[in-house]
Amino acid sequence: RRGLSENTLVLFSSDNGPTYDRLGGTDSEFFESNGPLSGLKGSVYEGGMRVPLIARWPGQIAAGRVTDHLAACYDVLPTLAEVAGTAPSADIDGISFLATLTGSGEQKQHEFLLWEFHGYGGQQAVRMGRWKGIRLNCYKDPNGPIKLYDLEKDLAEENDVADQHPEIVRKMDQLLREQHSDS
Q: What is the DSSP track for the chain?
A: --SGGGS--EEEE--SS--STTGGG--HHHHTTTTT----TT-SSHHHH---EEEE-TTTS-TT--------GGGHHHHHHHHHT----TT------HHHHHT-SPPP--S-EEEEE-STT-EEEEEETTEEEEEE-TTT-TT---EEEETTT-TT-----GGG-HHHHHHHHHHHHHH----
Give the pLDDT band (50/70/90) at residue 54: very high
Does residue 20 surpass a pLDDT of 80?
no
What predicted TM-score, i.e. pTM, was given to this entire model? 0.89
Residue 56 confidence (pLDDT): 96
Give the pLDDT band (50/70/90) at residue 64: very high
Give the pLDDT band (50/70/90) at residue 136: very high
Residue 80 confidence (pLDDT): 96
Q: Kindly report, residue by residue over 26-43, the tens digit of the pLDDT.
A: 788 888 888 898 988 889
Give the pLDDT band (50/70/90) at residue 112: very high
Chain centroid, CA 121 distance in Å? 21
Rounded to an integer, the average pLDDT of 89-103 is: 93
